[in-house]
C-alpha cells in the first residue's frame, strides 16, 4: 500500500462520515438523537473501551514484529560481515571461497530475494540454497592447525546466526493480522462511527466535524497497522540497505587484504 492509497482511504472514510452526518442531521431530529444518546452513551463507552484495548494490542504486536524484522536484517548482515572478517584471516585457499560464497549470497538477497519479498511475500529458494551450501562447505573444512580450527568454529557460529536471523526475517513475510481480527477492528470502528454520527448535536457543522475527525482517526490508525503488518511491502517497507553496506564492507575487506 502506497502513501497515496493510504491517504485516499482516510479521505474516503472522512467523506463517508461527512455524508452520513449530513443525512442524519437532515432526517433525524435532534431530540430523537438526544434520547438515543441517553441510552447509547453507556453502550458507546463500553464498546469504545473494548475497541481501544483491541486496537492497542494489535498495534503493539505489528509494531513489535516490524522492529523484529528490522533487527533481523541488521543482525544477519552483520553476522555475514563478521564471518567474512574471520574468513580473510584463513589461508587464501580456504578463506577466499567462503568470502566469494558470501558475496554470491548477499548479491542474491539484494537482486533476487528482496524484489520477490516485496512483490509476493515469499522468499527466493535459490538464495536460501546458497546460504545452506555456504554453511555446509564451511563445516567440511579441515584446517591444518588448531588456530584455524578455532576460526572455523567461530565462522560457523556467525553463519548459523545469519541463518537464524534469516529465518526470523522470512517469518515476518506471512505473519500478518488474521482476517477475523481485521473484521473485528473494522466492525468496531464502523459501529462507533455510527454512534458518533447519531450524536445529539444541534449544530450541523459540529456534528460533521465530530464524525469526520473520529472516522479519519480510526481509518488512519487501521491504515498504519496495515502498513506495519507486512514490513517488506508498501510505503513503510524495510529496504536491503544493510546488505548493500555489508557487501561493500566485504569487497573493501578483500581489496585491502588481497
- pLDDT score of 47: 85
CA gap 173, 229 in Å, rounded? 9
Task: Count Cβ atoms below 10 Å from residue 236 Cβ, excluding itself.
Answer: 17
Model confidence pLDDT, tens digit, residues 91-111: 888 888 888 889 999 999 999
Question: How many C-alpha atoms does 150 have within 13 Å on its Cβ side?
Answer: 3
Give the residue-averaged pLDDT of 237-246. Answer: 91
- Computed over every residue of the chain, the mean pLDDT equals 86
255 pLDDT band (50/70/90 cuts)? low
Q: Which residue has the higher pLDDT, 195 or 73?
A: 73
Q: Provide the phi-psi class of 147: left if phi over 0, else alpha when psi is between -120 and 50, else beta.
A: alpha
Q: Supply the pTM of this predicted model.
A: 0.83
Question: How many C-alpha atoms does 34 have within 13 Å on its Cβ side?
Answer: 6
**Residue 140 DSSP SS3:** coil
The answer to whether the beta carbons of residues 58 and 221 sit under 8 Å apart is no
CA gap 197, 206 in Å, rounded? 11
> Which stretch of 63-67, 87-91, 154-158, 162-166 has the lowest confidence by average pLDDT?
87-91
Angle between helices 204-229 and 30-88 (to 10 degrees): 20
Query: Which are the contacts of 216, defined by CB distance < 8 A and separation ≥ 6?
Result: 10, 13, 14, 17
Residue 147 has pLDDT above 80, yes or no: no
Amino acid at each position: 500500500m502506497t502513501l497515496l492509497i493510504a491517504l485516499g482511504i482516510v479521505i474516503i472514510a472522512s467523506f463517508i462520515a461527512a455524508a452520513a452526518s449530513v443525512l442524519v442531521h437532515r432526517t433525524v431530529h435532534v431530540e430523537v438523537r438526544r434520547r438515543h444518546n441517553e441510552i447509547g452513551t453507556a453502550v458507546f463507552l463500553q464498546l469504545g473501551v473494548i475497541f481501544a484495548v483491541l486496537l492497542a494490542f494489535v498495534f503493539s504486536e505489528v509494531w513489535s514484529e516490524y522492529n523484529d524484522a528490522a533487527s533481523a536484517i541488521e543482525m544477519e548482515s552483520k553476522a555475514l560481515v563478521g564471518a567474512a572478517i574471520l574468513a580473510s584471516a584463513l589461508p587464501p585457499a580456504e578463506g577466499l571461497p567462503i568470502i566469494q560464497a558470501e558475496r554470491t549470497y548477499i548479491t542474491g538477497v539484494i537482486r533476487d530475494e528482496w524484489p520477490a519479498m516485496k512483490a509476493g511475500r515469499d522468499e527466493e529458494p535459490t538464495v536460501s540454497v546458497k546460504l545452506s551450501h555456504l554453511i555446509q562447505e564451511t563445516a567440511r573444512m579441515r584446517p591444518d592447525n588448531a588456530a584455524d580450527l578455532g576460526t572455523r568454529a567461530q565462522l560457523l557460529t556467525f553463519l548459523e546466526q545469519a541463518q537464524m536471523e534469516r529465518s526470523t526475517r522470512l517469518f515476518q513475510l506471512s505473519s500478518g493480522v488474521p482476517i477475523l481480527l481485521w473484521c473485528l477492528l473494522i466492525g468496531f470502528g464502523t459501529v462507533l462511527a455510527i454512534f458518533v454520527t447519531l450524536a445529539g448535536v444541534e449544530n450541523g457543522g459540529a456534528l460533521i466535524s465530530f464524525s469526520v475527525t473520529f472516522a479519519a482517526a480510526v481509518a488512519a490508525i487501521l491504515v498504519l497497522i496495515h502498513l506495519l503488518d507486512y514490513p517488506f511491502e508498501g510505503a513503510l517497507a524495510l529496504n536491503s540497505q544493510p546488505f548493500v553496506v555489508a557487501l561493500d564492507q566485504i569487497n573493501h575487506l578483500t581489496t585491502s587484504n588481497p
